[in-house]
Structure 1
Amino acid sequence: MISAKIENIIAKFLTNQASASELSELEIWIQDSNNKELFNLYVKINYAIEYNMKEFDSNKIKSKLSEAFAKEKKEIKLKKLRKIIYYSAAAVVLGIVTTTYFYRTSLVDKSIATPVKIVNNTIKAGTDKAILTLEDGSVVALEKDKTYEKDNVTSNGKELVYDNNNAKSGLAYNYLTIPRGGQFQVKLADGTKVWLNSESKLKFPVAFVEGQPREVELIYGEAFFDVSPSTEHKGAKFKVLNKNQEVEVLGTEFNIKAYKDEDKIYTTLVEGKVTVSGFSSKKYITPNQQSIINLKNGNITINPIDAYNEVLWTKGIFSFKSKTLKEIMTVMSRWYDVEVVFRNTELEKVKFNGVLSKNDNIKEILSIIKKTNFINEYEIKDQKIIIR
């Protein structure tokens, strides 16, 4: 049971009215795993309907938090409070709403809607898995709950950890490939942590050479980097290379999305400062900014963005803000390893806002979207989704 006091704090938090002291109390309470489950269940039951009609705006929440801190003259680091925002985002899975008036017009004829058709639904959410290619060309399948150990690298089935002290002499490279329906983490020999999303591939040295730039290559896909500061490596800078871009940092947190089937590269900065170079151009970006390289013309643009919203995928949450159904289904297709076909191409343009857990059943997600009445019908057959 949730006490009346905690219930009141949760309600105030979701309506952006909680004080700093109340937020601290809520954070301590949520740290208990049983309480976390109660929190998620409570929000789903009591706030799902309301959040179906509203945007989940983390910027607004952070603004309200700042106001509360100023009033009470109490410093609480934003990092410490991210946990609460992550939990609330996971809880309001049903918070998917349309945005513009155009998309509220009838794109489908509700009178001819047909029942959902599901044949051999074998679609499962992604999990921890990857393929490690060693310097000698041999490959190792890494899987959830499966351990691996060799030379200076170990894995617990979720993360690879490299030890620079036990590395062999000479520069050697490994490759970590994340298939569709997979995710994995790697801690490089310099202490840098990397989260890799589905359908991604990273090339990195088994050990770094002291005094030389630390370079890795995101061959394709999406990765979040928490870089070990250069001050701990005699000033050695850290670079992330891609065939169309180079990102240089001293020590920071940032996200790069560079998928093979997309014509743009997105670099989002959470903390620190980085330079982005590509097509003879060089740009600096600061926290809560995103650089976009257009691969068709080489232009680099810088836009303001809610950085934490962009990297929630590393916490098990997909967050969509004014994304088209096509963009959402592209993300879903990678994570659930499915093919998505739109019979009505106009549906690709419909925009949604919302968050959902990466553990959700794909059928539940499609059912929620269908309830908006934009989708007339969807069909699941083996690893294929047809949207009408």
Structure 2
Amino acid sequence: MMRLKPKQYFIELLNKLYDGSITKKELEKLSYFFHNNQELKSWPEHFGSKTEIEERIFSRLQSDIHKESSKEIRVIPLYKKAIFKYSVAASVVFLISLTYFFNRNNSTPSIVSPTIVEENIKPGTDKATLTLEDGSVIELDKSQMYQNKNVRSNGSQIVYETNDEATNEIVYNYLTIPRGGEYHIILSDGTQVWLNSESQLKYPVSFIEGEVRQVELVYGEAYFDVSSNIDHNGTKFIVNNQSQKIEVLGTEFNIKANKNEMNIYTTLVEGEVIINAIGSKQKLLPNQQSNLDIENKNVTIADVDVIPEISWKNGLFIFRNKSLKEIMRVIERWYDVDIVFVNKDLESVKFRGVIKKQVSIEEILTIMKSSSINSYDINNRTIILK
């Protein structure tokens, strides 16, 4: 079955929303699609205005959240306020107008309205380094366009066009994302990859017809939307990464294999993948996550809520009972800073909440200071927590 064009898929999801048959997963996709595809200027008139569609999406989101009593968002006492609909939406994919955090000993979230703070430490942005097959290096960012042969970049994504000429030789490029960066790449077979801060992907400029399609996540975090094997004569897609190999038939999943961390997490959003690691193969189903412990050489699989795991690609960081140490690793990569804990007891304090990725670093620290951190200092690009 051929993949629908974006507008066709968008309209199909709208039809399902209106007839009540839309699934939770489809609703999440519609939410993100609705707010992040500005090129969709119009749709059939019977759907109503943009405001009417937005209200219907919010209504369905609220209904679904209320039905799921186990969802953590229910304990946040905001549901009687107008902002609730944005909080609910943020638990899926929307950007919210407030940033909030609260720790495990405090049931009331600390709330700070975003403001722009002039400082040297800025949130991350679209930027990457492209290394070509001849070793030459191209800097990619929003300030410039790039085009060469079958590859082009508009500053926020890089696209490899399908090569009509048959090739028998694999030629590799590297896309490296620094700390404080992120980037989107579309491979020559149509596979899309979103790369998080401090990540590197090795991939062919074009794939050989009829052979297994292989890429390597050298390190870091990436979200894959793999072009179906049906569109490529049944050829599999394989992602190699350190101590594991992931066999894919056409699906969406997230891999987190950050530098200096001893666990590799693979989270399946839809489809099916096979994790080949530590001498064994294990099948992963949607809403499951594999945890490869490199040090202890074992793989475990658990059911998870995928939304917090993939929120980074949709403009949010969602933390569910994460330690401050874990959260600060994310902050370090996105804001390109180093964080030092003077008070080691802070490392284990648990937080949950949502951060819009474009808020200032001082807003995040102010929120945390109101609940757990006694004080902090910023010295150049080093943040000292006390």
**TM, length-normalised to structure 2:** 0.75
Kindly provide the amino acid, as one letter, of the partner of residue 179 in structure 2: R
Q: Quick check: 1:386 aligned with 2:384?
A: yes
Question: 1:59: how far off?
Answer: 8.4
Q: What is the SS of the residue equivalent to 2:207? A: coil
Question: 1:95: how far off?
Answer: 2.8
Question: 1:60: how far off?
Answer: 4.1
The answer (yes or no) to whether the contact 1:191–1:228 under 8 Å persists in 2 is yes
**1:357-376 deviations in Å (ceiling 9; x for gaps):** 1101000010011111x111
Q: Which has the higher helix share?
A: 1
**1:49-94 deviations in Å (ceiling 9; x for gaps):** xxxxxxxx99846748xxxxxxxxxxxxxxxxxx945677532643
Q: What is the SS of the residue equivalent to 2:99? A: coil
Q: Quick check: 1:303 aligned with 2:296?
A: no
Percent identity over paired residues: 48
Spell out the pairing of 1:1-388 with structure 2 (5 A cutoff).
60=65, 63=68, 84-85=89-90, 90-91=95-96, 93-99=98-104, 101=105, 121-165=119-163, 169=167, 170-372=169-371, 374-388=372-386
**1:85-108 deviations in Å (ceiling 9; x for gaps):** 567753264331112x5x99xxxx
Question: 1:171: how far off?
Answer: 1.3
Kindly provide the amino acid, as one letter, of the partner of residue 259 in structure 1: N
Distance 2:365 2:94 in 1: 19
The answer (yes or no) to whether the contact 2:291–2:300 under 8 Å persists in 1 is yes
Structure 1 residues 349 and 140: CA distance shift in structure 2, 3 A: same
The answer (yes or no) to whether the contact 1:182–1:199 under 8 Å persists in 2 is yes
**1:185-244 deviations in Å (ceiling 9; x for gaps):** 100000000000000000000001111110000000000000000000000000000121
Gaps of 5+ in 2: 1-18, 39-49, 70-87, 108-117
Question: 1:145: how far off?
Answer: 3.8
Q: What is the SS of the residue equivalent to 1:376? A: coil
Q: What is the SS of the residue equivalent to 1:375? A: coil
Kindly provide the amino acid, as one letter, of the partner of residue 282 in structure 1: K
Kindly provide the amino acid, as one letter, of the partner of residue 185 in structure 1: H
Q: What is the SS of the residue equivalent to 1:311? A: helix
Give the corresponding residue for 1:4: none
**1:117-158 deviations in Å (ceiling 9; x for gaps):** xxx941110110000000111110001142100011000001
Give the corresponding residue for 1:108: none
Cα RMSD, aligned residues only: 3.2
Query: Higher relative contact order by CA 8 Å / sep ≥ 6: 1 or 2?
Result: 1
Question: 1:335: how far off?
Answer: 0.4
Structure 1 residues 61 and 318: CA distance shift in structure 2, 3 A: farther
Structure 1 residues 27 and 330: CA distance shift in structure 2, 3 A: closer
**How many residues end up aligned between the 2 structures?**
314
Question: 1:347: how far off?
Answer: 0.2
Q: What is the SS of the residue equivalent to 1:165? A: coil
Distance 2:97 2:125 in 1: 22
Give the corresponding residue for 2:76: none
Question: 1:172: how far off?
Answer: 0.3
Structure 1 residues 362 and 263: CA distance shift in structure 2, 3 A: same
**1:237-260 deviations in Å (ceiling 9; x for gaps):** 000001211011100000000012
**TM, length-normalised to structure 1:** 0.74
